Structure 1
Amino acid sequence: MTVGIVVVSHSRALADAAVELARQMLPGRELAVEVAAGTEDGGLGTDAAAVSAAIEAADSGEGTVVLMDLGSAVLSAETALEFLADDVRARTTLSAAPLVEGLVGAVVVAAGGASREQVAAEAARGLAPKEAQLR
């Protein structure tokens, strides 16, 4: 079992593209990466119930790390925690990591069997390579 990843975005297209990019780092390997993005009618927005369902779908018992794009995505993810059973909530980490860079790092270490804490830490380091290059 591995840590699951959830991507919360206002845009389904953005979330799907970020997941596709991250999955390129996992040739031949599977990892639970769920998306909760956009509205049911294809518009922009987030939905706490969809985030909650994505967390439950991604959690294999090792927990999940949730990456979000912008402000209300964070609010939706926080609200989603209230819908979860206590044990699932306790295994869920909301990450302040940058969405794309954090996601790429998170999937690599998660697929390697890292703990939820290690996955979240790798996601949080997502901007470090870019920051170092631009100095």
Structure 2
Amino acid sequence: MGAKVGIVLVSHSGRLAEGVKELLEQLGARPESVAAAGGDPDGGIGTSYERIMEAVSEVDQGAGVVVLPDIGSAVMTARLVLEDEPRDDAAVVDAPFVEGAVAAGVLASTGAGLDAVASAAREAYTARKIQD
């Protein structure tokens, strides 16, 4: 199989990031294409620059990397990682954490490119769960 866009899940909670990773794998994402970078270095609530940096490298298969943060400092830390190590094939994407990850993960598993995967994650903001 060809290179797929990698996905990094950045959450304040390690359990939340791992849970979303597990969900993506159940929906067809290859385990090596998704990384959970959740929690602080001591396993508590928080974010870790090093974990994010390692996760980006871990899932980089040559097709690009989408970084999906949950809130607050996860966004700031993820952006800082990519500012410190600039690359044209990685992006921090503003998307709902779970829905954006699912949209990105499903599309990435088809071999879609970086721009399409990032766009799918962003478009999850408009996806309705209940039609009235």
Q: CA deviation at 1:21?
A: 1.5
CA distance in 2, matches of 1:129, 1:51: 27
CA distance in 2, matches of 1:21, 1:95: 19
Please list, as runs of the form range in 1=range in 2, the aligned pairs for 1:34-73 lying within 5 A after superposition: 34-73=35-74
Please list, as runs of the form range in 1=range in 2, the aligned pairs for 1:116-127 lying within 5 A after superposition: 116-127=114-125
Q: Note if 1:109 corresponds to 2:107.
A: yes
Identical counterparts, % of pairs: 40
CA distance in 2, matches of 1:79, 1:129: 29
Gaps of 5+ in 2: none
- Return the letter of the residue paired with 1:101: E
Q: CA deviation at 1:83?
A: 3.6
Structure 1 stretches of 4+ moved >3 Å: none
Superposition TM-score, scaled by structure 1 size: 0.88
Kept in 1: contact 2:64–2:90 (CA 8 A):
yes
Alignment match, 1:30: 30
1:4 pairs with one of 3, 6, 17: 6
Aligned residues: 129
Alignment match, 2:88: 90
CA deviation string 1:43-82 (max 9, x = no partner): 0000122211111111111110010100100110011113
CA deviation string 1:80-117 (max 9, x = no partner): 11342x4xx21101100101000011111101000000
Kept in 1: contact 2:41–2:48 (CA 8 A):
no
Q: CA deviation at 1:127?
A: 3.0
CA distance in 1, matches of 2:131, 2:52: 34
Kept in 2: contact 1:52–1:83 (CA 8 A):
no
CA distance in 2, matches of 1:22, 1:57: 16
